[in-house]
Amino acid sequence: MGIENKNIEMGAFLVKKLTEIGIALSAEKNLSRLLEKIVEESRNFSNADAGTLYIMDEDEERLEFAIVQNDTMKIRMGGEAGPITWQPVPLKKEGKPNFSNVSSYVAITGTIVNIPDVYEAEGFDFSGTRAFDGGTGYRSKSMLVIPMKNKGNETIGVLQLINALDTETQKPIPFAPEYVDLVASLASQAAVAITNVRLYRDLERLFESFIETIATAIDEKSPYTAGHIRRVQELTIAIAKKMNEQEEGPFKDFFLNNDELHELRLAAWLHDIGKIVTPENIIDKSTKLEKVFDLANLIDTRYEIFKRDIAIKALEEKLALCKVGALEEMEFIRIGQKALEQYSVLEEEKEFIKTCNKSGEFMDDKKIERLKKIAANKWNYQGTEMPYLTDGEVYNLSIKKGSLTPEERKIIENHSLVTYKMLSKLPFPKKLRHVLKYAAAHHERLDGTGYPFGKKADQLSYPERIIAIADIFEALTAKDRPYKKPMSISTALDVLDSLRKSGHIDGDILDLFIKEKVYAEYADRELDPFQIDC
């Protein structure tokens, strides 16, 4: 076999190796690991003892140290080991391009620099390299510095390889010229991979920030639910992580990896997205008569009119007596007393209506009957006979429990169906394919009585059940709901326990929630001290 054939074989081998490295790089989605791999692979490829990878900062003003590797010195810095704190290399000095540093020179000019011995090289300032050598006893000799250019031919970083080692003697030798093009090609493949990973990461961040922005907007829609979504998402993850830790019991086979936890977190961020269409006045309805404002104020005013009508009537009667000259004191007193009696009846009625209007007031049949009786009274408004209370007022005041009419409750409940409809329009990537399912099921119940789809236990996975419990616990303990005082943890846990007994929520998750005090950290952060009673 001639030398030429050998060269061809070697060339084919290197190209094959390069292709393999390119494929490996493009498969790496983690930026830190990708950067490490780039330095490792290019060092392997060129048999270099050390290597540094610089990344251009966003303003394109400096090169930041991303990876430093040195086999002889057993140094591994950057990447997964955390950021390097060394001062970046400026691309400009006193307003002029920094050509004295070899890496910045390469970054600015886009050319490759191959130096057999940096101590003998001219044109560049290697004081930094010498200082490193002086401090460590290392001897930097040959150096290959290559710009990393992406598809748009923009330099996004610089790869610096130090001390190519002779395969037999392991002594530093110059980087062979035939390797230079191949390492340059590897560097551009690396640049493309970095650009792709960054693009992917930026898109992912943008998507997540967008979701959080929408969730915040929904929370902000109502001052009474501010922070609900954020808090549900925190509780959800706390529960899931605790379930992950279990090696025994019902969750021993349950495990969500980082991607799956991320998917669950997004689902929790999105669970109430359907509330975007729910009118605020229904979300915030704190009394039975509260529409855009509390209609109870109108009734109050109306009762003031009733009272004035009585006063006027009494005065008219007295005036009539005066006119006919019948100035009997007793009759005057009688008229006054009658007016006072009517006053107190009205006052009592007004107070009764006020009590009925409270969301916490349970309305039994007797109270509803009394309400109807009051409503049937008539008063004169601009010559027309009007009932004391309108049909709508009676309907709202007769709400047996809570502050919502069945129609308003339907509107509120509709939000989970809207969540489903909205999210089903989004083309979630495979990694996030369960977001829709998890997010839309937070009001489903294991016994099938939930909404929007009435799913049953066998259709509800653990992640769906976790969000449901987090949602209820947050709602019960929230400090900012208009229609109720915040519950203490023990009371909230009692309510959750009753929901478990009625077959609504998962008992195993609840047991873990209570036993492991999964809520503890959350409570310290989010609840008032008086609520934290267990």
Nearer to Fe ion, 374 or 435 (CB): 435
Residue 67's beta-bridge partner residues? 53, 78
Q: Which of 88, 96, 23, 18 is nearest to 59 (CA)?
A: 88
Shortest Cβ 466–Fe ion spacing (Å): 13
Shortest Cβ 233–Fe ion spacing (Å): 10
Q: Which of 95, 115, 113 is nearest to 103 (CA)?
A: 113
Nearer to Fe ion, 28 or 471 (CB): 471
Stretch that binds Fe ion, among 136-144, 376-384, 466-474, 514-522 (CB under 5 A): 466-474
Stretch that binds Fe ion, among 9-17, 126-134, 270-278, 396-404 (CB under 5 A): 270-278
- Give the separation between CA 26 and CA 23, rounded to whole angstroms: 5
Compute the 3-state secondary structure of the chain and give helix, strand, coil in percent, each to the nearest 5.
55, 10, 30
Nearer to Fe ion, 106 or 266 (CB): 266
Shortest Cβ 411–Fe ion spacing (Å): 13
Total of residues contacting Fe ion (CB under 5 A): 2
Stretch that binds Fe ion, among 268-276, 354-362, 364-372, 430-438 (CB under 5 A): 268-276
Shortest Cβ 273–Fe ion spacing (Å): 10
Nearer to Fe ion, 155 or 278 (CB): 278
Q: Which of 28, 41, 272, 408 binds Fe ion (CB under 5 A)?
A: 272
Stretch that binds Fe ion, among 114-122, 239-247, 395-403, 470-478 (CB under 5 A): 470-478
Q: How far is the first Cα of the chain from the last one, in angstroms, to the nearest whole number?
A: 83
Shortest Cβ 444–Fe ion spacing (Å): 11
Nearer to Fe ion, 109 or 461 (CB): 461
Shortest Cβ 472–Fe ion spacing (Å): 9
Instruction: Quote the DSSP letter at residue 277.
Output: G
Please, what is the Cα angle at 123 between 122 and 124, to 5 degrees?
100
Stretch that binds Fe ion, among 141-149, 173-181, 271-279, 308-316 (CB under 5 A): 271-279
Stretch that binds Fe ion, among 29-37, 267-275, 451-459, 524-532 (CB under 5 A): 267-275
Interface pattern 435-464 for Fe ion (x via CB under 5 A): ------------------------------
What lies within 8 Å, CB to CB, of 296 at 6+ separation is: 287, 289, 290, 353, 354, 357
- When asked if residue 471 is in the footprint of Fe ion (CB under 5 A), the reply is yes
Shortest Cβ 474–Fe ion spacing (Å): 7
Interface pattern 190-229 for Fe ion (x via CB under 5 A): ----------------------------------------
Residue 76's beta-bridge partner residues? 69
Identify residues 83-122 at the interface with Fe ion (CB under 5 A). Answer: none
Give the DSSP per-residue string, 409-457. HHHHHHHHHHHHHHHTTS---GGGTTHHHHHHTTT--TBS--SSS--BG
Secondary structure E strands in 302-405: 378-381, 384-387
- Give the separation between CA 314 and CA 312, rounded to whole angstroms: 5
Residue 50's beta-bridge partner residues? 70, 162
Nearer to Fe ion, 361 or 471 (CB): 471
Handedness of CA 449, 425, 233, 258 (dihedral sign): positive
Shortest Cβ 470–Fe ion spacing (Å): 9
Residue 386's beta-bridge partner residues? 379
Shortest Cβ 413–Fe ion spacing (Å): 9
The four Cα atoms 355, 361, 364, 365 give a dihedral, to 10 degrees, of 40
The packing angle between helices 228-245 and 462-477, to 10°, is 130
- Give the separation between CA 517 and CA 242, rounded to whole angstroms: 10
Please, what is the Cα angle at 9 between 8 and 11, to 5 degrees?
65
Stretch that binds Fe ion, among 195-203, 272-280, 382-390, 496-504 (CB under 5 A): 272-280
Nearer to Fe ion, 86 or 483 (CB): 483
Under a CB-based contact definition with an 8 Å cutoff, are residues 10 and 2 in contact? no
Shortest Cβ 311–Fe ion spacing (Å): 50
Nearer to Fe ion, 64 or 280 (CB): 280
Nearer to Fe ion, 77 or 214 (CB): 214
Nearer to Fe ion, 125 or 220 (CB): 220
Query: Residues in the site for Fe ion, rule: CB under 5 A?
Result: 272, 471
